[in-house]
Structure 1
Amino acid sequence: MATKTSREIIRDGLWSNNPALVQVLGLCPLLAVTSTVVNALGLGLATLLVLMGSNLAVSLIRNFVNESVRLPAFVMIIASFVTCAELLMQAYTYELYQILGIFIPLIVTNCAILGRADAFASRNPPGLALLDGAMMGLGFLLVLVMLGAMRELIGQGTLFADMHLLLGPMAAEWTLRPFADYPNMLFMMLPPGAFMGLGLLIALKNVIDSRIEEKRKAAQVKTVSAGTKRVRVTGSLS
């Protein structure tokens, strides 16, 4: 298997192979906790921490683990980092930890994390494995935050409400209310609204990809046409 370059790893994590929009993994927490930006950001940061730590650890031990115990070893590593993330949230963001509830320990079962450990970290050196974990985690975090912002804005007419639960007293006044007397839209705060919001994000990505591909093909056609014209001119001159 050819080793990916850093640029390819970054592009895959943030766009081409985004775990939420392309692989469609981790949907349970993605749809369950993204009712607000602060919830999405809290879970996203915890997932990012676990992905980076587990990818690095798996890469470091990849040459010392027997094939028969490979997956159990990966799960134990992931569970250890999830426990660290859980203890950190209990210590510093306890109220947010209570809101997120079971979805913090359930990071252990996130297929995106185990998938990256098995498909990439176990086959690549630590530096690339850490970068892959960071980019995949960041890509997942960005989708969480975008979906959370969409649902919070449409659902209750606010943005960045209760950010002090994650960032402390300095974020207590960060709440934005773009609309006066906004009538709450309960649909967007419920699971059906989460499904619709994620579907819109996936559709938007597909539209952007289609237009990029069309432009690429058009550029190729122009290049071929220009080359053909140069050949014809050269032939006529000779």
Structure 2
Amino acid sequence: MNILWSETMHPGGKWSGVIGKGKLIRLTAMEEGANVTMLLYHAADLTERYNMPDTLKAQHTAHLTKGHVLMSDNGRAMASIVQDDLGWHDPLGAYTTRGSTDEKYGVSRYQEQRNDWLRSGQENLAVELTRCGLGNRDLSPAINWFSKVYCDAEGNMHFAEGHCKAGQVVTLRTEMDILLVLSNTPHLLDPRKTYPSVPVKLEVLPALPVDSQDYCVNYRPENRRAFNNTWNYYALQS
């Protein structure tokens, strides 16, 4: 398929934009150890956004991979994971803050270091939300692509080092018109002491039409209900 648009997110970079339904969003780790934090909103109604608890509960999972659907707080399918080289992406680990970044990697300020200062996930996301007419109160549970976090028997969360290899890809399909917000910043639980951010390629391609035999639609009965909610919504818009 022809690539409609592409951009490389450099270490510490951020991006936001509206992407129409029926597109593929392909993320490629250019080096090992990538982490891209994502927020997701309905472009036509920014009060509707990705709902982490419903997404995980409906699909009986604590991680995301191929077949899983990202559901909104209105019970609609916003995007689906149609291809995944890693088998596990983290929906639980949140994002770094200014305080956690300074504590782990040393104090870093734009005034002294200019574009070499170390960005935090929270700051990056907040800046992009402001550009899109939103604000700090619209920060919500995020997805960390390329990262694996698992819990032990006592409920402690652990970051899996070495999970992401260079060249690995995850691809989403948009089921709605979405506002996508991304931050290429370290995972909050990554134990490395040097700022571990690597380039990630972002590409948008056309997607094939979704039919009744689609893998994501049929992954779980709850997925089909979410798709039906989305299809009904757009049927009434046309």
TM-score when normalising by structure 2:
0.25
Q: Which has the higher contact order (CA 8 A, sep 6+)?
A: 2
Q: Which of the two has greater helix per residue?
A: 1
TM-score when normalising by structure 1:
0.25
Q: Which of the two has greater strand per residue?
A: 2
CA radius of gyration, larger in: 1
